């Protein structure tokens, strides 16, 4: 207050920038799990895209079920068993070598086109970036290295350390401890279940809605923000723009 009246004076005074901590989901957010489609097309033709989506859906389903049952096996096994399910469901006969090729490809899946530039911009502003995944640290590091993304992150936080999976609230609390108990911790994810899990555990969350066809679960728990691309993240969050102070 400046003493000139009870209403006070609004002063547009820049504050110190607020440095946020970002937990980036990996598969489906930074890395395109449909990167297996070109190889599948060679082997199963026009069914490749649907096969890929079923594979991804079953992979997540198996992680949810194992988490609930407390029968933990790592994400790679969930992925392998989901592939076996799809081969049976689609009546596809893949050889052991072909299956191994598909599973190995998960370690070099492509990143989405907007990822590298967006991570670089966030890091340049001084924010703290972490990869946060159901995958083991080794697998996540490998796919990040394959795409030239590893350098942008301060670390990889894997749910494997707790022997459970997202959206168990324990994994989000674990992330916040590992990342230094930031007061401004954000999850960035393209997966609605992940966004809801993070918000329920006390984090903020940005939902990366890469396609208009994706439906957010109607649980009454909404994303803090929604963006169509990572490049819109800083703009949408209004990070580091001067804020007024009331004196």
Cis-peptide into 55, omega within 30 deg: no
Q: Is 184 a catalytic residue?
A: no
Catalytic residue among 2, 25, 34, 160: 25
Residues serving a catalytic function are 25
């Amino acid at each position: 207050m400046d003493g000139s009246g009870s209403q006070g004076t609004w002063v547009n005074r820049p504050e110190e920038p607020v440095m946020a901590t970002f937990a980036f989901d990996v598969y489906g957010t930074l890395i395109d799990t449909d990167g297996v489609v070109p190889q599948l097309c060679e082997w199963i033709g026009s069914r490749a895209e649907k096969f890929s989506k079923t594979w991804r859906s079953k992979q997540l389903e198996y992680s949810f079920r194992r988490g609930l049952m407390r029968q933990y096996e790592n994400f790679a096994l969930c992925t392998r068993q989901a592939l076996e399910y799809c081969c049976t469901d689609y009546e596809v006969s893949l050889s052991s070598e072909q299956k191994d090729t598909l599973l190995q490809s998960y370690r070099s899946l492509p990143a989405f086109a907007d990822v590298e530039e967006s991570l670089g911009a966030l890091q340049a502003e001084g924010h703290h970036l972490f990869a946060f995944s159901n995958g083991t640290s080794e697998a996540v590091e490998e796919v990040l290295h394959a795409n030239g993304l590893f350098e942008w992150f301060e670390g990889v936080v894997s749910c494997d350390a707790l022997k459970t999976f997202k959206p168990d609230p324990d994994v989000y609390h674990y992330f916040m401890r590992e990342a230094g108990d930031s007061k401004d911790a954000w999850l960035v994810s393209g997966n609605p279940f992940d966004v809801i899990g993070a918000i329920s555990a006390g984090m903020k969350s940005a939902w990366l809605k890469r396609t208009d066809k994706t439906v957010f679960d109607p649980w009454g728990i909404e994303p803090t923000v929604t963006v169509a691309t990572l490049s819109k993240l800083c703009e949408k969050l209004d990070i580091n723009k001067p804020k007024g102070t009331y004196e």
